[in-house]
Amino acid sequence: MKHLNEINSDGFTIINNVYNENEIEKIISLIEKTTQNDTENPTFRKSEDLFAIRQFHKEIPEVLDFVFNQNLKDILEKTFGKGYFITKSIYFDKPEKSNWFVSYHQDLTISVDKKMEISNFKNWTVKQNQFAVQPPKEILENNFTVRIHMDKTTKENGALKVVNNSHSKGIVRVDDLNIENETICEVEKGGIMIMKPLLFHASNKTTNNERRRVIHIEFSKYELPDGIAWSERI
C-alpha cells in the first residue's frame, strides 16, 4: 500500500532493487543485438543527444520475459490489481555528453491504430504511421507509466524532476503550473519509477558524462470506443 499511497498523493513512487545485474545485462544485450542488426528501422530515432526505440516491446518482443520478472509482476498486481495491459513502450538512451533536455509537460496522448471522429478525443497527430490522440481525462487519470532504469540515474545525468501532486489538478497549461514542491527522482540501476501521466515532469541536460538508459512502459485497463484500438496493446 505504501507505493500506491505515494502514487495517489504525489503522483509517483520509486522502488529500487527490482532487477539484478544479470537481468539488466540480458535486457541490454537483447537491445544492442537488435540495434546493431537493424540500423534503418523507422521506429529508431538517433541523434547526438538521444537514441530511442518506439514500439519497443513490438520491436524486441523477446525482452518482455526479462522486463516482466517476478518482482515487477508482484509490484504491479499488488499496487494496481489485475486487468491492465501495455499500451505504449519506448526505450531511451541518453548518451554521456547529451545536451538533450525536456521542459515541464504532462503525457496527454495515447497511441491508436487509426484516426476517426470520436467525442472527447482530440488533438490528433500522426508520425511514421503512428496515430496519437488526447483521450478523455478519465482515461489519463487511471493510466500509469513504469520507467525501468538500466543505469544509476541522478540529477547530473538527467533524472526526471517532477512537481509533486500536480497529477491531481487535471489537464493544466504549463503556463499555469505552480511549482510548489519539486522532486528530483534519482533511481538506482535496476530500480523503477512508477508515475501518473498527468504528473508534470521534465529532464535536464547531462553534466557528469554518465549514460542514462530507461525503458518507458505505459499501461491502461480501458477499452477504447468501437472503431479504434490501442495500436501497441499487448
Q: Does residue 186 lie within any of the structural domains?
A: yes
> What's the distance, CA 226 to chain centroid?
26
Structure-block grid coordinates of residue 150:
538500466
Q: Does residue 233 lie within any of the structural domains?
A: no
Tell me the per-residue pLDDT of 23-56, one tens digit each, with 9 for 90 and over. 999 999 999 988 776 556 655 655 555 678 899 9
Q: Does residue 231 lie within any of the structural domains?
A: no
Q: Does residue 172 lie within any of the structural domains?
A: yes
Q: Does residue 153 lie within any of the structural domains?
A: yes
Q: Are strands 102-105 and 192-195 parallel, antiparallel or unpaired?
A: unpaired
Q: Does residue 177 lie within any of the structural domains?
A: yes
User: Which DSSP category does 30 fall into?
Assistant: H
The pTM of this model reads: 0.93
pLDDT score of 128 more than 80: no
pLDDT value, residue 39:
55
Rg of the chain over Cα atoms, rounded to whole angstroms, equals 17
The CATH number of whichever domain residue 86 belongs to comes to 2.60.120.620
Closest CA relative to residue 164, chosen from 6, 55, 50, 47 = 6
C-beta of residue 218 within 8 angstroms of C-beta of residue 89: yes
Tell me the per-residue pLDDT of 203-223, one tens digit each, with 9 for 90 and over. 988 888 888 899 999 999 999
Q: Does residue 70 lie within any of the structural domains?
A: yes
> What's the distance, CA 121 to chain centroid?
21
What confidence category does residue 4 fall into, taking pLDDT thresholds of 50, 70 and 90? very high
Amino acid at 194: I
Task: Summarize the confidence of residues 111-130 as an average pLDDT.
Answer: 91
Structure-block grid coordinates of residue 3:
507505493
Tell me the per-residue pLDDT of 66-105, one tens digit each, with 9 for 90 and over. 999 999 999 999 999 999 999 999 998 887 666 678 899 9
Domain tally, the chain: 1
Domain of 58, in residue numbers: 2-220
Q: Does residue 227 lie within any of the structural domains?
A: no
